Structure 1
Amino acid sequence: MRSHRIAALQLDEERLAADLAVSEGFAYNDSYADFVSSGMLRSTMLWNQTGSLAESSLGDYEGSARPTPHGEALTYVRELIGRYFRTDLLKYARFMRLAPGSVYVPHRDFLELKADMVRVHLPLQTDDNVFASEDNTVFRMRRGELWLLDATRTHSVGSFSDRDRVHVICDFTAEDFSQVLAAEVQARPDVPADNIAERPPLGAESRQALLDLAKVLDERNYQEIQTLLIKQHFASDISGDEVFTLLKQIADGSGRADLLSRATAHEEYCMVRR
């Protein structure tokens, strides 16, 4: 797995609580809804090219990011970003809230960008019932840990918690994560063993039970079956790429050419080009 923990920070609980309270009143958007199979992901820009909240998607540009009104409002988060990162290389910083029970469609990022990008996550609110994945490894990014996420690999998120997962996600123009860290950061790259989720193999009988969903698949339950497969990725030893493989096999077995085309097109959008 290329993703890894960079460092563990000591957070100021009082100041963080104040920022989280402020964030409750933010204007959020659903610009990443294409990658949410169930639940809700709300995001807002803290830094971007223009400093405007209206700029909600990523793109190539020259120069450094500018803080938005929401970035200015989160005084402690702004201080953390300035303390731990080289903001001259920062392109985007987003504040993202994932609702309980939400799962991401496995996907790869930066497909639409030309520049080399480095993505860092800082979890501010989460628990051990929230998981991320890269390829066929499922892991936890715990509160206060800085994580490099290799977003060019197939990755997903599954929340089985009863409260929002809140992360700050920073994207930098750089070839390596070490270039984006401020001098004072003592990076200790690792993937702690207890951050990795243990998942049993998906046995032949269970796999066949999933493939038998072809008998009931239609346009009314397509989304629910897709979500079930993603949740299975977090529960058993199947990769994010296999989610689409199984979905296409189920669609093919159903005899619904339209649903097979839908799954194939969505896989291309998530994994190849957009």
Structure 2
Amino acid sequence: MRSHRIATLRLDEERLAVDLAASGDFTYNDSYADFISTGLLRSTMLWNQSGSLAESSLGDYEGSARPTPHGEALPYVSELIGRLFHTRYLKYARFMRLAPASVYVPHRDFLELKGNMVRIHIPLQTDDSVFASEENAVFRMRLGELWYLDATRTHSVGSFSARDRIHVVCDFTAESLQQVLVGELPADPDVPPGNIVERPPLDEPRRSALLGLAATLDEHTYQEVQTLLIKQHFLTEISGDEVFVLMKEIAGRSGRADLLDRATEHEEYCMVRR
């Protein structure tokens, strides 16, 4: 997979705790609700084009990002961003708080943007019950690590944790990862074996049971069936793309053409164009 750990960080726990406490008073938005199948994702801008909290979605623009009031309210996080990155390439930095028991719909990002984008995650609060994925690989981004995420590939997040997962997500317009980093890129960027989640294959009995959900699928259960399939992605060896394959097959077997259209259109929105 292309996503990988860039480096380990020595975080100042006391200063980080002060910033996390301050974030409890933030105004959050649900700009990314389209990609949450169950649960809650709250986000807010720390840096963007205008420096305004009203600007909540990504877009192409010339120049560098400016800190928002929330960015200025997190002095330690802002210091980290300034110390780790060449901020002249920074376009957006978002504070993203994922509630327990939440899962993302698998999707690809930057579909609506023209520039070459580089995405980096700084985990600020997480545990080993929170998983990320790229295609058919599932992994953990742990506290004290800096991660490059290839958001052009199918990816997702699943939280099986009892507390919020909090990341700062930074998006840069740049030709390479090295261009945005202060300091040298490690010669062999890695995904530590302990970060990889081992999952059993999706065996035939379980696959048949999932397809059997067609008998219960309707407009009221669609979301729950989709969520179950996404959770299976984190628990067994099916890729993010296969979630849509299974969803369409279940919808087709249900005999509901409208639900098959819904699954097909959702896949195109998440994977092809929006």
TM-score normalised by structure 2 residue count: 0.99
Q: What letter is aligned with 2:85?
A: F
Distance 2:175 2:195 in 1: 26
Q: What letter is aligned with 2:144?
A: G
Q: Which residue pairs with 1:93 in the alignment?
A: 93
Distance 2:187 2:19 in 1: 25
Distance 2:140 2:90 in 1: 25
Q: Which residue pairs with 2:104 in the alignment?
A: 104
Q: After the TM superposition, which residues 108-127 of structure 1 pair with which residues of structure 2 at under 5 Å, given as runs? A: 108-127=108-127
* 1:140-170 CA-partner distances (Å, limit 9, x unpaired): 0001210000000000000000000000000
Asked whether the 8 Å contact 1:84–1:185 carries over to 2, the reply is no
Q: Which residue pairs with 1:242 in the alignment?
A: 242
Q: Which residue pairs with 1:129 in the alignment?
A: 129
Asked whether the 8 Å contact 1:6–1:188 carries over to 2, the reply is no
Asked whether the 8 Å contact 1:7–1:188 carries over to 2, the reply is no
Q: What letter is aligned with 1:232?
A: Q
Distance 1:144 1:19 in 2: 16
Distance 1:62 1:208 in 2: 51
Q: Which residue pairs with 1:212 in the alignment?
A: 212
Asked whether the 8 Å contact 2:6–2:185 carries over to 1, the reply is no
Q: What letter is aligned with 2:232?
A: Q
Asked whether the 8 Å contact 1:7–1:187 carries over to 2, the reply is no
Please identify, of 133-142 and 169-178, the stretch whose mean Cα deviation from structure 2 is larger: 169-178
Q: Which residue pairs with 2:261 in the alignment?
A: 261
For the pair 1:60 / 2:60, whether they are aligned, the reply is yes
Q: Which residue pairs with 2:176 in the alignment?
A: 176
Distance 1:87 1:21 in 2: 25
Q: What is the DSSP-based 3-state SS (H/G/I as helix, E as strand, rest coil) of the residue aligned with 1:100?
A: coil
Asked whether the 8 Å contact 2:172–2:180 carries over to 1, the reply is yes
Q: What letter is aligned with 1:135?
A: E
Using the TM superposition, give the Cα deviation of residue 183 of structure 1 relative to its aligned residue in structure 2, in angstroms: 2.8
Asked whether the 8 Å contact 1:96–1:169 carries over to 2, the reply is yes
Q: Which residue pairs with 2:252 in the alignment?
A: 252
* 1:126-145 CA-partner distances (Å, limit 9, x unpaired): 00000000000000000121
* 1:74-109 CA-partner distances (Å, limit 9, x unpaired): 000000000000000000000000000000000000
Distance 1:139 1:71 in 2: 28
Q: What is the DSSP-based 3-state SS (H/G/I as helix, E as strand, rest coil) of the residue aligned with 1:229?
A: helix
Using the TM superposition, give the Cα deviation of residue 52 of structure 1 relative to its aligned residue in structure 2, in angstroms: 0.2
Q: After the TM superposition, which residues 19-58 of structure 1 pair with which residues of structure 2 at under 5 Å, given as runs? A: 19-58=19-58
Using the TM superposition, give the Cα deviation of residue 184 of structure 1 relative to its aligned residue in structure 2, in angstroms: 7.0
Runs of 4+ in 1 over 2 A off after TM superposition: 183-188
Q: Which residue pairs with 2:17 in the alignment?
A: 17
Q: What is the DSSP-based 3-state SS (H/G/I as helix, E as strand, rest coil) of the residue aligned with 1:88?
A: helix
What percentage of residue pairs aligned between the two structures are identical?
Answer: 77
Please identify, of 183-192 and 84-93, the stretch whose mean Cα deviation from structure 2 is larger: 183-192
Distance 2:187 2:224 in 1: 41
Q: Which residue pairs with 2:146 in the alignment?
A: 146
Distance 2:232 2:185 in 1: 37
* Paired residues, number: 274
Distance 2:172 2:197 in 1: 28
Distance 1:60 1:260 in 2: 33
Using the TM superposition, give the Cα deviation of residue 254 of structure 1 relative to its aligned residue in structure 2, in angstroms: 0.2
Q: What letter is aligned with 2:108?
A: R
Using the TM superposition, give the Cα deviation of residue 211 of structure 1 relative to its aligned residue in structure 2, in angstroms: 0.4
Using the TM superposition, give the Cα deviation of residue 189 of structure 1 relative to its aligned residue in structure 2, in angstroms: 1.3
Distance 1:61 1:244 in 2: 33
Q: Which residue pairs with 1:3 in the alignment?
A: 3
Task: Indicate how the Cα distance of structure 1 residues 233 and 81 shifts in structure 2: closer, same or farther if over 3 A, else same.
Answer: same
Q: What is the DSSP-based 3-state SS (H/G/I as helix, E as strand, rest coil) of the residue aligned with 1:95?
A: strand
Distance 1:198 1:57 in 2: 34
Distance 1:249 1:188 in 2: 41
Asked whether the 8 Å contact 2:122–2:147 carries over to 1, the reply is yes
Distance 2:164 2:175 in 1: 32
Using the TM superposition, give the Cα deviation of residue 176 of structure 1 relative to its aligned residue in structure 2, in angstroms: 1.3
TM-score normalised by structure 1 residue count: 0.99
Distance 1:17 1:142 in 2: 17
Distance 1:133 1:184 in 2: 26
Using the TM superposition, give the Cα deviation of residue 186 of structure 1 relative to its aligned residue in structure 2, in angstroms: 5.9
